[in-house]
Amino acid sequence: MEAIRVISRASVQARSDVNNGDSPKQIDLNPWDLQFLANEYARKGLLFHKPSSSSSFKHTETLILHLKDSFSLAVDLFPPVAGRLTVVHHDDDDTSSVFITCNNAGVSFVHAVAENTSIAHIIEPTYVPSILHSFFPLGNFKNFEGTQVPLMAVQVTELVDGIFVACSMNHCLFDVKPAWDFWNAWAEISRNGLNHIASDSKFASFERWFPHDNIERPIRIPFKEMIENYSKGSGNSVQLPSFSRRIFHFKREKIAELKAKANTEVQDGGVMISKISSLQAVLGHVWRSVIRIQNLDPEEEVTYRFLIAARSRIYHPPIPDNYFGNAVQYTTVTMKVRDLVGDGGLGKFALEMNKVIASFTEEKIKKDFDAWIQNPTMPSQHGTIGKFMTTNNSPRINFYEFDFGWGRPVAVRLGPTNSRMWKLVADAGAEEGSFDFELYMSHDILEALVRDYEFMNMVSPPPPLMGYPINELAQA
């Protein structure tokens, strides 16, 4: 397989006559947005079969132009994605304010070709192939670099028998739920035309949520110091082992089995309490397996980090359903190895995760929000190799639902990452009710997982590659 060949690059802007002044000129970021300043851009990609010769997209040039035009219409509905970050330094206290300027500087749209790469080259290898990295635009930019580079970039790459649609997104702009909303709008426009969704005048709410009016905006932070401290903290003089990426598939039946096991292990006075979710159970299964196969000291502590969603926990003022921003914050579960890998460890871990999630009441979330403003920090992106892992995304957000007009994806893939720590990315699987977990960690640990019967007994083979019915492009 050879590297890709770029056919064209374009800057897509929102039409001013569509905005009618409804979009804010400046979006004052809140702590949920600012915590991601030093992280890499978020990246998601969808792999499709090429449309059949009988479809409206039988000519690839027609398909690419159609995707670009429909993408442009989606940008009209979400004009902040065409903006840029702005950093304003304050000499009086040596702080800076960071906000989104809705200046319509443009979103990048790239058309590329991977002439010797097929769908099989992407989905059949045991490990995620490195050529996939070239399918994502913007390279390895960090979110704070959104002052100079687009907040969003799309690359459509032609394969021998497929189309890969990839999006790189500045994480200060939004989290996975609004990202899904944008993808969904784009897919709907591509499939059915703009008139299908344009009647909703409040398709997205761009103004950032704040718990009260007594917060100075834009928020002032020690920007330079935070970036420098983050960079120092991410450094490591010890040579790291090579990291690999592998996807494990969990069918609905195995997920139900793990959930039942975890709930059976959770008891209060001898009475079983059914409170463990499917996701908590499967995350627990993966994490305790990763720790068990390392044969660590039973008295050592290991830490699992994950995101808490605030949307459904805030009522005064509420967060709109169409909120186009971040509404998540990190938290952790720390346990001793003996408790995690010993008898009943699955239930113990899942219960601890459940308790932590339940502790994030509206009062606590607001308190943490205000505390961050007083002491701005960026979550550490590193931990002790083998004893720390973080989870991104959620299988509750299903990217397999998108259909641009010629069928649903055959695979969903994560973009490249510069992270120096172990990571688990959770996505919905192609089969109904299934999960796909992409693990990014030491190659030897991934190999050990595959040899571990207890772990693999719950893992299923990926579903067979299926074709999807070809939908004719509906007339707008």
Q: Which pLDDT does position 475 carry in this prediction?
A: 30
CA-nearest of 460, 443, 431, 41 to 246 is: 443
Question: Exactly one of 76, 171, 175, 427 is catalytic; which is it?
Answer: 171
137 shares its domain with 174: yes
pLDDT-based confidence at residue 233 (cuts at 50, 70, 90) = low
Q: SS3 of 97, please?
A: strand
Place of tokens 């409804």: 22
Residue 20 has pLDDT above 50, yes or no: no
Q: Same domain, yes or no, for 220 and 261?
A: no
Overall average pLDDT of the 218-242 stretch:
73
**Span 384-419, pLDDT tens digits:** 889 999 998 899 999 999 999 999 999 999 998 766
Neighbouring-strand partners of residue 415: none
Picking from 231, 253, 271, the residue at the C-terminal end of a domain is: 231
Does the annotation count 452 as an active-site position?
no
Is residue 250 situated within a structural domain?
yes
Whole-number pLDDT of residue 381 = 58
Please say which residue of 231, 261, 278 terminates a domain: 231
Residue 121 DSSP SS3? helix
Q: Tell me the helices (H) and strands (E) count for the chain, helix number first.
A: 13, 18
Catalytic (active site) residue 403: yes
Spatial contact of 425 and 416, defined as CB atoms under 8 Å apart: no
In the structure, what pLDDT confidence band is assigned to residue 462 with cuts at 50, 70 and 90?
Answer: confident
SS3 260: helix
Assess if residue 461 is contained within a domain: no
Per-residue pLDDT band at 350 (split at 50, 70, 90) = very high
DSSP letter string, 8-70: EEEEE---HHHHTT-S-SEEE--HHHHTTTTSBPEEEEEEEEPPPTTSTT-SHHHHHHHHHHH
Contact 45, 416 (CB under 8 A): no
Does residue 476 belong to any structural domain of this protein?
Answer: no
Regarding whether 253 and 225 lie in a shared domain, the answer is no
Query: What is the DSSP-derived secondary structure letter of residue 176?
Result: H
Could you give the count of Cα atoms lying within 13 Å of 306 in the half-sphere of its Cβ?
Answer: 23
pLDDT given at position 236: 45
pLDDT of residue 469: 37
User: DSSP letter at 371?
Assistant: H
- Per the structure, the count of domains in the chain is 2
What pLDDT is attached to residue 275?
87
Dump pLDDT digits (tens) for 66-113.
999 999 999 999 999 999 999 999 999 999 999 999 999 999 999 999
Look at residues 231, 263, 289 and tell me which one is the last residue of a structural domain.
231
For residue 234, is pLDDT > 60?
Answer: no
Residues 260 and 386 in one domain: yes
> Are 128 and 171 contained in the same domain?
yes
pLDDT band at 115 (very low <50, low <70, confident <90, very high): very high
Q: Exactly one of 28, 33, 403, 436 is catalytic; name it.
A: 403
187 shares a domain with 151: yes
Residue-wise pLDDT tens digits, 354-368: 999 999 999 999 999
Query: Can you tell me the mean pLDDT for 320-339?
Result: 96
- Model confidence over 287-307: pLDDT tens digits? 999 999 999 999 999 999 999
Handedness of CA 264, 269, 275, 276 (dihedral sign): negative
Contacts for 225-230: CB closer than 8 Å, 24+ residues apart: 226/37, 226/38, 226/376, 226/377, 226/378, 227/37, 227/38, 227/144, 229/378, 230/38, 230/378, 230/381
d(CA 244, CA 426): 16
Q: What share of the chain is helix, strand, coil (3-state, %, to 5)?
A: 35, 25, 40
Tell me if 227 is assigned to some domain.
Answer: yes
Domain membership of residue 237 (yes or no) is no
Does 283 score more than 50 pLDDT?
Answer: yes
User: Could you tell me if residue 263 is inside a domain?
Assistant: yes
Q: Do residue 164 and residue 34 come from a single domain? A: yes
Does 201 or 328 have the greater pLDDT score? 328
Q: 338 lies in which domain range?
A: 243-456
How far apart, in whole angstroms, are the C-alpha atoms of residue 175 and residue 328?
8
* CB-CB neighbours of 207 under 10 Å: 12
Please indicate, yes or no, whether residues 428 and 288 belong to a single structural domain of this protein: yes
For 290-294, 379-383, 453-457, which range has the lowest pLDDT when averaged over its residues? 379-383
Of the listed ranges 144-158, 349-363, 371-385, the one predicted with least confidence: 371-385
Indicate whether 147 and 293 sit together in one domain: no
Considering the domain architecture, whether residues 270 and 172 belong to the same structural domain is answered as no
Beta-bridged to residue 90, according to DSSP, are 95
Domain containing residue 210: CATH number:
3.30.559.10
219 within domain boundaries: yes
204 assigned to some structural domain: yes
User: Does 207 score more than 80 pLDDT?
Assistant: yes
pLDDT above 70: percentage of residues in the chain? 88
Do 328 and 412 fall into the same domain? yes
Q: What band does 27 get if pLDDT is binned at 50, 70 and 90? A: very high
By percentage, how much of the chain surpasses pLDDT 90?
Answer: 78
Is 247 found in the same domain as 127?
no
Q: Is the peptide bond before 298 cis (omega within 30 degrees of 0)?
A: no
pTM for the model: 0.92
Determine the average pLDDT of the residues in 115-141: 93
Is the pLDDT reported for residue 59 higher than 70? Answer: yes
pLDDT at 312: 93
- The chain-wide mean pLDDT, for the chain, equals 89
